[in-house]
Structure 1
Amino acid sequence: MKVYKQGVPLIKEINNTRIHDDTISFWNLGQAGILIKGREEDGLICIDPYLSNSIEQVNPETEFKRAYPPVLSPDMLEDADAMLITHEHDDHLDFATLREVGQSSENPVFVVPAPLVSMVQSETGNNNIAAAKVNESFRIKGFQITPVPAAHTSYQVDLEGNHLYLAYCIEVNGVRMFHSGDTIVTPELIEKVKDFKPHVVFLPINGGDYFRSSREIVGNMSFREAVEFSNTVGADLIIPIHYDLFPNNRDNPAYFVDYLFTHYPNQKFHMMAPGERFIYYL
């Protein structure tokens, strides 16, 4: 699988993109990785970057092998203001990526679910780590960010009641975005996101099944659920994620498109290639 843009040309595009009022730009980094840029004063944040081959390097026998190379090297994200991590699975919390980002710059704050703070600090040697807790909003420059609980088949909390799996409601420059991380659909999630009134939603469409579950591959919402969820919460634009990087954990995105065309032909969506930029205007 080829990427749309990568390496130096991609980071030049990111750095040179200028955003005005009521507009954002975002880039697809592959899997669940999304890079979001507002105006210059708003800054730049990255969600769940998996920009290494660490999974297959640690375990050469793994079935999780990349279908395409990373679109950026981690050191190219030295100007990012934050790395938002949704949960501890290796394709979302990639220590190899975070270590290199931390070595190249002290600028990004690593925002991780509260139960993971000590582990991330130990693994990366970075002290610039913020604990994300459900419904406790915070700001990163112009980004207003509110963590909400995600259910990677179920809600899970530590002994202090802090959620291990998070999604993020993000508002910048007047645009509201929801990044689900890995999750299934629950009534609680629908209500929280519906109240947020997102313009853009980033949702997994790879689903799950018995055979993947039997190999300890944890499920997500399916293409059908992602469409219905988006319609229920009133999203303007759907960006499918988490279906492209690992051939063993995919679902055909054509099913997503067909379901939209059949049931919600007026719903806006975009299938992003790895390394592609999208500029969204209100």
Structure 2
Amino acid sequence: MIILISTTALLSLVTIIFLQQPQFGQAASGERLERMKKSKHFRDGAFANLSYTPPLTEGYSMTGVMYNFFFKKNPRQKPLKAIPSVKTDLKNLPADSNVVVWFGHSSYYMQVDGLKILVDPVFSGNASPIPGTTKAFEGTNSYGVNDLPEIDYLLISHDHYDHLDYSTIKELKGKVKNVICGLGVGAYFEQWGHLPEIISERDWNETIAIGENIKIHTLTARHFSGRTFKRNTTLWLAYLIETPGQKIFIGGDGGYDTHFAEIGNRFGTIDLAILENGQYNLAWRAIHCLPEEVVQAAKDLNAKRVMPVHSGKFSLALHSWDEPLNEVSRLSKLNDLPLVTPQIGEVVWMNDEGQVFGEWWKIVETR
């Protein structure tokens, strides 16, 4: 009994010390916390979704989920060979071009009407605070901060490690002119060395006007946040970039709900919807869309084209690494929904709706 108590105490002490490392971030305080408390989505010390959002679907247990993760791994969770990619010179893309370049998972670079935008960059090759535990697939980590031009706007959807990467954010210091993120997330940026004056923390349904012609709307998503054991102390966001010529929806992470239709009704036709498609499971479908829900969300959004992301780089669920793309591709054909499925680094020309993309994932030999 003495040995058990001593071991438990030692493990607790090690955990407490480990959680003091800067990659875990710092909690909001002072004026930042007071502003969070004024949000109608902040209740009892945490943010809440519009609809009831259980951490697990009814009928599933955390014990069962953890057992499956440790003892029932899918042999095809990771690709056997390197993921194909293209090395694009991002610094010398035509200045007047409207493009998207995907870096795998949910990270991508955009040029929109002259603005250079970066979304959820993760260049460390790891989607976990513990080094080496959630490593990027071979071939998927060929881009880094040095490959980027100066960034006008960095958009962060939420604070999870596969979207807000400590080492990448540290390295971006001085290269980013403006940061937009959810309420509370700015505390991480300040701790990691970014100037407070470039950080804009937003609630759902706010609009940032950039000049006379461009707007960035911060919108509702159905998800959660947290970098330690406490959830929902910062807000998660979706975005819509609106210019005179196009509308681009950036979904971040989140489960299916009525907010997609509400956004579609508000903004009309959306030219390109970038939607999470991957790392899903029936056990947590409230916080991550299944492929059929991705297609339905695209319909609700009145999307002309859909770019599925949140796959192709990390394995964070038990499905086969290529299942998300196989399924959304099959379902999109049944629903006559054009998909945008570039290789990592391949340039997507947003003004070219006829651009053709191959099913690159089908040529990768898998386990």
Same fold (TM over 0.5): yes
1:164 maps onto 2:243 in alignment: no
Root-mean-square deviation (CA), in Å? 2.6
Contact 2:140 2:313 in 1 (8 A): no
Shift of 1:25: 1.2
Shift of 1:54: 4.5
**Aligned CA distance change for structure 1 residues 94 and 124 (closer, same or farther; 3 Å):** farther
- Listed one character per residue, the Cα deviations across residues 243-274 of structure 1 (whole Å, up to 9, x for unaligned) are 11113434331111111222x13x21121211
Contact 2:105 2:313 in 1 (8 A): yes
Larger relative strand fraction = 1
Name the stretch that deviates more: 227-236 or 70-79. 70-79
Given the alignment, which residue of 162, 168, 178 partners 1:109? 178
Q: What secondary structure sits across from 2:173 in the alignment? A: helix
Q: Give % identity.
A: 20
1:235 corresponds to which letter in structure 2?
A
**Aligned CA distance change for structure 1 residues 111 and 71 (closer, same or farther; 3 Å):** farther
Listed as ranges, the matches of 1:74-89 within 5 Å are: 74-89=145-160
Listed as ranges, the matches of 1:1-282 within 5 Å are: 1-6=82-87, 9-12=88-91, 15-19=92-96, 24-39=98-113, 42-55=114-127, 58-60=129-131, 62=133, 64-67=134-137, 68-103=139-174, 105=175, 107-127=176-196, 128-140=198-210, 143-152=214-223, 164-197=235-268, 198-206=270-278, 208-209=280-281, 219-249=287-317, 250=321, 251-262=323-334, 264-265=335-336, 267-281=337-351
Structure 1: unaligned runs, 5 residues or longer? none
- Listed one character per residue, the Cα deviations across residues 3-45 of structure 1 (whole Å, up to 9, x for unaligned) are 4323xx4324xx332436xxx2111121111211124xx3211
**Structure (1 or 2) with the larger CA radius of gyration:** 2
Aligned residues: 258
State the match for 2:356 in structure 1: none
**Aligned CA distance change for structure 1 residues 228 and 185 (closer, same or farther; 3 Å):** same
1:29 corresponds to which letter in structure 2?
F
State the match for 2:58 in structure 1: none
Shift of 1:125: 3.9
Shift of 1:219: 4.4
Contact 2:103 2:140 in 1 (8 A): no
The 2-side partners of 1:54 and 1:260 are apart by: 31
Contact 2:224 2:232 in 1 (8 A): no
- Listed one character per residue, the Cα deviations across residues 85-104 of structure 1 (whole Å, up to 9, x for unaligned) are 0000011111211111114x
1:147 corresponds to which letter in structure 2?
T
TM-score of the aligned structures, taking structure 1 as reference length: 0.81
The 2-side partners of 1:218 and 1:53 are apart by: 27
**Aligned CA distance change for structure 1 residues 149 and 78 (closer, same or farther; 3 Å):** same
Q: What secondary structure sits across from 2:184 in the alignment? A: helix
**Aligned CA distance change for structure 1 residues 18 and 125 (closer, same or farther; 3 Å):** closer
Structure 2: unaligned runs, 5 residues or longer? 1-81, 226-230, 354-367
Contact 1:208 1:221 in 2 (8 A): yes
The 2-side partners of 1:100 and 1:148 are apart by: 28
The 2-side partners of 1:43 and 1:136 are apart by: 20
Contact 1:26 1:36 in 2 (8 A): yes
TM-score of the aligned structures, taking structure 2 as reference length: 0.64
